[in-house]
Amino acid sequence: MVSRIEHPAGGYKKIFETCEELNEPIPAVVVGVIPEWLSGSLLRLGPGLFEVGAEPFYHLFDGQALMHKFDLKNGHVTYYRKFVKTDAYVRAMTEKRVVITEFGTAAYPDPCKNIFSRFFTYFKGIEVTDNCLVNVYPVGEDFYACTETNYITKVDPDTLETLKRVDLCDYLSVNGVTAHPHIESDGTVYNIGNCFGKNMSLAYNIVKIPPTPKDKSDPIAKSKVLVQLPSSERFKPSYIHSFGMTENYFVFVETPVKINLLKFLTAWSIWGTNYMDCFESNETMGTWFHLATKDPAEYIEHKFRTSAFNLFHHINSYEDDGFIVVDLCTWKGHEFVYNYLYLANLRENWEEVKKAAMRAPQPEVRRYVLPMDVHKEEQGKNLISLPYTTATAVMRSDGTIWLEPEVLFSGPRQAFEFPQINYSKFSGKNYSYAYGLGLNHFIPDRICKLNVKTKDTWVWQEPDSYPSEPIFVQTPDSVEEDDGVLLSIVVNPGADQRPGYLLILNARDLTEIARAEVEVIIPVTFHGMYKP
């Protein structure tokens, strides 16, 4: 899965440039034959506005949210995109400046205000961004674009119109939730976020949004906290991007990347402070694994520990014979990977991009195995008896269980990230295949498939082409796990015409089935979904 392509022309810079929204869907030129059964919409979120007037956004996660849609019907394809009309976007466009502080960009008071108005602006409290550029997911019969704060934005998946902003703090005790919920077949949504627990110390709440009620009322209004997990540090919660879920357990991995609460609470009263300034690394804690049962929802007191790593994406978790298997896309060490995702770094010439990636934490796909039947008298021996893994778990004298992983894939500066599986059939279950976006020194340049049992790999890659997270769509009535297609948005900035396209791959071997090309460049997207 290691990239064999270099990028000296720097075409990747184009996916980090501002674009305009479209007034109406535009037709795509289809090359190949799209399967008759593939009829639906690929919805994607990412940044589309990288500056406001003369003020730039500085970090990859700062640009204003742009929603994309490829519609597939009867072998034909159209492409459409619109900015999500969040408060952050509307106010920025109205005032022609950055008004709300984003992940790595600080907002400054209006320079037109007098000194007294500007002073009081500093101290009016934290104004949290609603810039929902990360993902989109269903809740009941509705669809919400999201980031990682307490705000989610209801959108129309057909027209891409922005409908309303929802503050989850009105319903739940959370400071924010991830952009990677787990969704069961009946529509139940689970998520996790940090919260204030006992004695004002920080903790983590796992929350549940039920399926659509019979009376068709809003399921968000019936949200509830299921279980609370403790934090390793009282006033410094870890950054959470995703979590794991099996049929009977929740899996939360607490990394050494911490949010300094004091910095966060004072950030908006200090000139030029943003979210990135509030992160720090605990160099001594390593990484902690937490478990909780789903029904009844209860925290499990086992103390699982391992060496330090960054974690953004869980691949899958499942139970097997008294063990919980957890597959992760990790980055070695305690330094925050997001430090390397400033736009100035990503827009550098190729040799400079490579140099920066040499200094950054290194990626690795890992499998950890957590034993559920733990006894203190078993100190010093490997508690894992599954025959198909080399992962270990050893009880220490202090009662902690030290985990060592099995490495499923490792390549220097070559990440398997933005993982996807056959979610509807194999989420939380023993599985074989993961699909991912290959990052070459942080630049996305290939689509990968990994057999997590045999470690066999497959790759799709073309020169000067920059794909997005591949979304798996299952063939109707399929039996095999990998019977389906992968959908990915690809940009080829050097193309003479139609530089952006929807790529459709056979999920079995990553051979191309078709592509639908459009006459526009499409900026980077992070996550999304397929809506039948």
Residues in the annotated binding site for Fe cation: 180, 241, 313, 527
Q: What does the alpha-carbon distance between residue 532 and residue 475 come to, in Å, rounded to a whole number?
A: 12
Q: Which two tokens stand for residue 38?
A: 């593939």
Contact 482, 425 (CB under 8 A): no
Alpha carbon distances (Å) from 306 to 201, 288, 310, 333: 24, 7, 12, 11
Residues facing 311 on adjacent strands = 330
Cβ partners under 8 Å of residue 297, min gap 6: 206, 226, 227
Contact 513, 502 (CB under 8 A): no
What radius of gyration, in Å, describes the C-alpha atoms of the chain? 23
DSSP string, 327-365: EEEEEESSS-GGGG-BHHHHTS-HHHHHHHHHHSPPEEE
Contact 134, 153 (CB under 8 A): no
How many residues would you count in the chain?
532
For CA atoms 158, 159, 161, 163, the dihedral sign is: negative
Prior bond of 476 cis (ω within 30°): no
Alpha carbon distances (Å) from 210 to 109, 154, 157, 191, 294: 41, 17, 21, 12, 14
Alpha carbon distances (Å) from 284 to 208, 233, 306, 333, 387: 33, 12, 11, 11, 32
- Binding-site residues, in ranges, read 180, 241, 313, 527
